[in-house]
Structure 1
């Protein structure tokens, strides 16, 4: 065998072994750099607002909009039934706000991809602040409106299984608004469906329904909260 080939092969093996030996540190650092380029940050403490207003499904996101009430997408809720469970603002192995059973599901009657769920007030598994749902979360308020070029953020659970249900926040701007549709350029991935789109005051302007997972994409979409949609949601908030 050619001596140069042997040397190069051994060098390649050494590099591969050293990467493995560095363990998760290098991989984690690489991921952090990649996330920084996308304006994505991992949330450190999900027990404070606005992060404690976000909930997790097994493969998607939702958020709290009132007493025992959360919002997500129809394409998320179709895979759930009364008695299934959601988790309030988990963050990997750092605890969460409790696990709660779904008691009602109300899909928006139009074409818009939005669904309202009501959950049992008492937890199946307690959160940091006890068994009461409303003591473990903080509900978002509606924004009056949104405009093109407004700064926004998206909070949710991208690739939840892969990321071990860690919560992430991405930032961007509103690119267009037409009727009940809002397009934005904050980076999102599978699992962000149902995430809140928040303005600079942490008021909710819409709910994420899909995107193309590309940096700088202007085609990430959310259901924009028009007066008609807000009225539907208000009717389904538990009193």
Structure 2
């Protein structure tokens, strides 16, 4: 079976079985949604660190340069969101840029006596068997142990132990900044249970029971949001760990590259679960590329999930996510534009956005507006999951943040009418109660009214739709064009 067929049939169920996330849309209408949870800012302006320098004190890489390699580290930016709403209501556009730059060093002193707790081979096998992960040795095992982990790039490959409610899970990652690690999303988020790891321990260049460059911890993780929203879809199985502090300066970091081609020479190095914390690697070539994934006949075992797929320049072109030995190959998630944007977001410790989910998404008051040209309706939400599903799968245009509300104050109630496909927002408990008896479904508290900035409410009897705006001029213009001004709906900061 070719990789392209595997993308749509096998991988989603192989990486992490089960279904995630409560329903985010109305049970009676696929064009609208029922939840209203606060999320964080959408900015993404961090810098991707890379280290392409060599040091005379470090043994040279054992990767042989490929004269046919075309790998380069590239910049990327997200496209501007177009405005498909009514010309009455202007849209706010957003741009997200990612820049690749050199890594900086710090003076952290290593402690060669530091050790990490170990996940036993039996524990790893049990966890992966339950999850349905079948990492694979294809034919004879052709991997070999990396004896000198101080050699570049091996000191930059990281032994991971993720703490989940059901115990420790071992994985692999790669330093892509002084305090950021690229890995597989399923090392950080359990799609089957919907649980994030509570913490991760990371030791670069781990060797047996020792951590020569120190042990670092993290409670801050990023994954591609569609990994969560699409039930662990392998096409999005990539994440980043933001460490609590910078790693030892001697470790440095690798670059990342979007450029990869069939028959290109690569290696996959990581920490098999039964190796006692020792690193193994193997070389091979890229066999196939399909969409976000690529395959190779390089041997892997449980524990190597999150291991880097490195090109001849020691750049990361993919992250190993699963082995499918029954089909004779193993699979990585490629580095793509979304990977770069996630990395830049993580390196500055920024909040989540529609593309990237974090385990620390919090109530900020950012209220996003969406517009559906087909039903001519606006929707307001503080839930990025909801905004993402509606804008990517259900025909809604994302118009970015329209106002920012307080996290405390007078409740703003949200109701939905399946006949008119409209949401209404009100601070009037009596209005909420009356409407609830007249075909409107009460969906809970959307946010809170507090502050000095009024949000005006207007109604168009022809369209049978309400509009909310903080723009007094827009309110005045619409009032002369068939819209009835109904007063201040609530207040924002």
Q: TM-score w.r.t. structure 2 length?
A: 0.37
- Pick one of 194, 218, 232 that aligns with 2:306: 194
- Aligned residue for 1:236? 346
Is residue 221 from structure 1 mapped to residue 341 from structure 2 by the alignment?
Answer: no
> Are the equivalent residues in 2 in contact too, given 1:52–1:88 (CA < 8 A)?
yes
Q: Distance in 2 between matches of 1:55 and 1:232?
A: 19
CA spacing shift, 1:192–1:50, aligned 2, 3 Å: same
Within-5 A mapping of 1:53-202: 53-58=156-161, 59-78=170-189, 81=197, 83-93=199-209, 95-111=211-227, 112-121=236-245, 133-159=247-273, 162-202=274-314
**How big is the shift at 1:229?**
2.0
Q: Distance in 1 between matches of 2:174 and 2:247?
A: 13
Secondary structure of residue in 2 paired with 1:52: helix
**How big is the shift at 1:55?**
0.7
Secondary structure of residue in 2 paired with 1:143: coil
> Are the equivalent residues in 2 in contact too, given 1:183–1:222 (CA < 8 A)?
yes
CA spacing shift, 1:179–1:75, aligned 2, 3 Å: same
CA spacing shift, 1:86–1:213, aligned 2, 3 Å: farther
Secondary structure of residue in 2 paired with 1:236: helix
**How big is the shift at 1:94?**
5.3
Secondary structure of residue in 1 paired with 2:252: coil
**How big is the shift at 1:136?**
4.1
> Are the equivalent residues in 2 in contact too, given 1:151–1:171 (CA < 8 A)?
yes
**How big is the shift at 1:118?**
0.6
**How big is the shift at 1:101?**
1.1
> Are the equivalent residues in 2 in contact too, given 1:50–1:138 (CA < 8 A)?
no
- Aligned residue for 1:51? 154
Q: What does the per-residue CA deviation read over 1:175-214, in whole Å, with 9 as the maximum and x for residues that have no partner?
A: 1111111111111111110000001111110100000357
Q: What does the per-residue CA deviation read over 1:144-187, in whole Å, with 9 as the maximum and x for residues that have no partner?
A: 4000000110010012xx21100011111101111111111111
- Determine which structure has more spread, i.e. the larger CA radius of gyration: 2
- Pick one of 145, 166, 172 that aligns with 1:42: 145
Secondary structure of residue in 1 paired with 2:285: strand
Q: Distance in 1 between matches of 2:200 and 2:345?
A: 23
Q: Distance in 2 between matches of 1:180 and 1:95?
A: 33
> Are the equivalent residues in 1 in contact too, given 2:160–2:200 (CA < 8 A)?
no
Gaps of 5+ in 1: 1-33, 122-131
Q: Distance in 1 between matches of 2:325 and 2:269?
A: 15
RMSD over equivalenced CA pairs, Å: 2.4
> Are the equivalent residues in 1 in contact too, given 2:272–2:300 (CA < 8 A)?
yes
> Are the equivalent residues in 2 in contact too, given 1:156–1:192 (CA < 8 A)?
yes
> Are the equivalent residues in 2 in contact too, given 1:193–1:210 (CA < 8 A)?
yes
Q: Distance in 1 between matches of 2:145 and 2:272?
A: 11
**How big is the shift at 1:83?**
4.5
Q: Distance in 2 between matches of 1:174 and 1:65?
A: 22
Secondary structure of residue in 1 paired with 2:187: helix
Structure with a larger share of its residues in helix? 1
Paired residues in the alignment total: 192
> Are the equivalent residues in 1 in contact too, given 2:223–2:239 (CA < 8 A)?
yes
**How big is the shift at 1:60?**
1.0
